[in-house]
A and B are shown apart, each in its own frame.
Chain A
Amino acid sequence: MPDGLFIRVDIAESVQGDPELVQRLIEVCPVDIFDRAEGGVATVAENLDECTLCDLCIQAAGDDRVRVVKLYAE
């Protein structure tokens, strides 16, 4: 049986060095999946499954630097 997790968000290394983008990711996500971490941004584990698949983070980051992975579709 799968483990009851539905969404994973992958963040490219290049995002970490871009404080403006980090800020934008935190601002655009409607369910608080992104938060500041040492030296950049990290995902908030308990909020990942709240992802609404709105793609705002993907649009904000551009160039495939943020990927939203549907674990149930893999």
Chain B
Amino acid sequence: MRFFEFEAKQLLARRGVPLPESRIARTAEEAADAQRELGGDVVLKSQVLSGGRMKAGGVRFAGSADEARGAAEAILALPINGQHPQGVLVERKGEIAQEYYAAVTWDGRAKRPVIVFSDMGGIDIEEVAEAHPDHLSRTHLSTLRPLSDYQAKLAVARTGVTGGDLNRLARIVLQLARAFREHDLTLAEINPIGKLADGSILALDAHMEMEAEARGAHRALLAELGIPEHDTRQARPPTPFEVAGAEVDAQDTRGVAGNVTEFSGSLGLVIGAGGGSLTLFDAVRSAGGDPANYCEVGGNPSVRKTAALTRLIVSKPGVEKIAVMMNVVSNTRVDIMARGVIKGVIEAGFDPADKIAIFRIPGSWEEEGFAILRRYGVEYVDRSVSMHEAARRAVAKLAGLDGG
């Protein structure tokens, strides 16, 4: 879940990271008051959970209360990437001499957190990595050992920063890494960190995202930030189909059969296992298919739960067939999945042989599962057919072609 900038900055402020003086305004009048309190030039920033605010016109400047009011009115009326602003952050504007970039995130390949630091902040960090790799450092952190000042200092020093700036920036980077670890964040980013003309260094923008599954562990923190439990921070509110999927998953603790995302296609997907959901969804798209949904199944869900998820998907308007495909399963049982899927299709009033385009779940108890599928006339394949080939066959079958 993503934090608004003003919330991310509250997390930084608690750790002593220097920030520009600011006020959060919910109305244009409050923005005018904020400018009066702060005095002088201010920057007004739209509070949306989206990037590209500057380009979209969501960041404006003002030198008076009237200008601040006008800027806030414009910002509050401007949706960015479909999101309506939740307020305007009014900050004192300073003269920036140099901009830096700092982030802590997960390096999927290294399977460890990494500090990314650059002395070229304020621009797209991917651009810096490509065009100016010598201006960017990557410093991996241990998931077991405690964080040290040295690691933060190393991250900054690797870009050539020295002296007092090195010490001040390293303190900020260390606090950023601590926030990342202690709040179960998936991204903690400050871009830019600004060195002002007077030599002071401030975090000018902040972007933080918390692992959604960690929300329960940080209930108190989220409450302190004023984030209610029902505030999912998704790009759009869940559809009734997605809400129903979450209810299915919550009905018992065995396994996962949920995390449903709705799409408009005609091929329903019951997919999952070991990263299989994303791979299979992409495989269906690559084969020219039009998925009706994304979902995640794994961890050996009960027959009842699998049946409920299948019933939901197969009953979705526009769904002509479903494809039941997973990576090779170990703890999830093929026979239990077969029972659940067939039961769900029958309970929805359809014939499994007609409605299930393909069943490709190889692995644990597969012979037992295949016996069930044979009994119901469902086309199935084993692991000798790849996930991509299974997806292609499902798409072909839906198009009325011979998938095999």
| Cα of A49 to Cα of B303 in the assembled complex, Å | 7
Q: How large is the interface on B (under 10, 10 to 19, 20 to 34, 35 or more residues)?
A: 10 to 19
For window 17-74 of chain A, which residues contact chain B by CB distance below 8 Å?
Answer: 31, 46, 49-50, 52-53, 70, 72-73
Assess whether B339 is interfacial by the CB under 8 Å rule.
Answer: yes
CB-based contact A73/B346 at 8 Å: no
| Cα of A73 to Cα of B374 in the assembled complex, Å | 10
CB-based contact A3/B346 at 8 Å: yes
Chain B nearest CB, measured from A6 CB (Å): 5
Chain B nearest CB, measured from A37 CB (Å): 22
Assess whether B187 is interfacial by the CB under 8 Å rule.
Answer: no
CB-based contact B336/A2 at 8 Å: no
CB-based contact B302/A50 at 8 Å: yes
CB-based contact A72/B351 at 8 Å: no
B328-348 interface bits toward A, Cβ cutoff 8 Å, 1 = contact, 0 = none: 000001011001001100110
Task: Give every chain B residue within 8 A of A3 (Cβ-Cβ).
Answer: 346
CB-based contact A4/B343 at 8 Å: yes
CB-based contact B376/A6 at 8 Å: no
CB < 8 Å: which of A1, A52, A70 contacts B336? A52
CB-based contact A49/B343 at 8 Å: yes
CB-based contact B375/A72 at 8 Å: yes
CB-based contact B339/A49 at 8 Å: yes
For window 340-371 of chain B, which residues contact chain A by CB distance below 8 Å?
Answer: 342-343, 346-347, 351-353, 368, 371
Main secondary structure of the interface of B (DSSP, over half): helix
Known contacts A2-B376, A49-B303; decide if A73 and B371 are in contact (CB<8 Å): yes
Assess whether B304 is interfacial by the CB under 8 Å rule.
Answer: yes
CB-based contact A1/B304 at 8 Å: no
CB-based contact B346/A72 at 8 Å: no
Chain B nearest CB, measured from A39 CB (Å): 29
Known contacts A2-B376, A4-B347, A72-B371; decide if A50 and B303 are in contact (CB<8 Å): yes
Known contacts A50-B304, A52-B336; decide if A72 and B347 are in contact (CB<8 Å): no
| Cα of A3 to Cα of B31 in the assembled complex, Å | 66
Chain A nearest CB, measured from B369 CB (Å): 10
Closest residue of chain B to A72 (Cβ to Cβ) is B375
| Cα of A64 to Cα of B22 in the assembled complex, Å | 77
CB-based contact A6/B368 at 8 Å: no
CB-based contact B368/A53 at 8 Å: yes
For window 358-396 of chain B, which residues contact chain A by CB distance below 8 Å?
Answer: 368, 371-372, 375-376
| Cα of A3 to Cα of B372 in the assembled complex, Å | 12
| Cα of A73 to Cα of B353 in the assembled complex, Å | 17
Chain B nearest CB, measured from A50 CB (Å): 5
CB < 8 Å: which of B304, B333, B353, B372 contacts A6? B372
Closest residue of chain B to A48 (Cβ to Cβ) is B303
CB-based contact A4/B346 at 8 Å: yes
Task: Give every chain B residue within 8 A of A73 (Cβ-Cβ).
Answer: 371, 375
| Cα of A49 to Cα of B352 in the assembled complex, Å | 17
Closest residue of chain B to A1 (Cβ to Cβ) is B351
Closest residue of chain A to B374 (Cβ to Cβ) is A72
Closest residue of chain A to B354 (Cβ to Cβ) is A1
Chain B nearest CB, measured from A26 CB (Å): 19
Task: Give every chain A residue within 8 A of B333 (Cβ-Cβ).
Answer: 52
Task: Give every chain A residue within 8 A of B302 (Cβ-Cβ).
Answer: 31, 50
CB-based contact B342/A4 at 8 Å: yes
Task: Give every chain B residue within 8 A of A1 (Cβ-Cβ).
Answer: 346, 351-353, 376
Task: Give every chain B residue within 8 A of A72 (Cβ-Cβ).
Answer: 371-372, 375-376
| Cα of A3 to Cα of B351 in the assembled complex, Å | 10
Closest residue of chain B to A71 (Cβ to Cβ) is B375
Not counting A4-B343, A6-B339, A73-B375, a sample of 14 additional A-B residue pairs whose C-beta atoms are within 8 angstroms of each other reads A1-B351, A1-B352, A1-B353, A1-B376, A2-B376, A3-B346, A6-B303, A49-B339, A49-B343, A50-B303, A52-B333, A52-B336, A72-B372, A73-B371
Give 4 nearest A-B pairs by CB, closest first.
A4-B346, A72-B375, A72-B372, A4-B343
Please name 14 pairs of A and B residues whose Cβ atoms are closer than 8 Å in the assembled complex, sorted by A. A1-B352, A4-B342, A4-B347, A6-B372, A31-B302, A49-B303, A50-B302, A50-B304, A52-B336, A53-B335, A53-B368, A72-B371, A72-B372, A73-B375
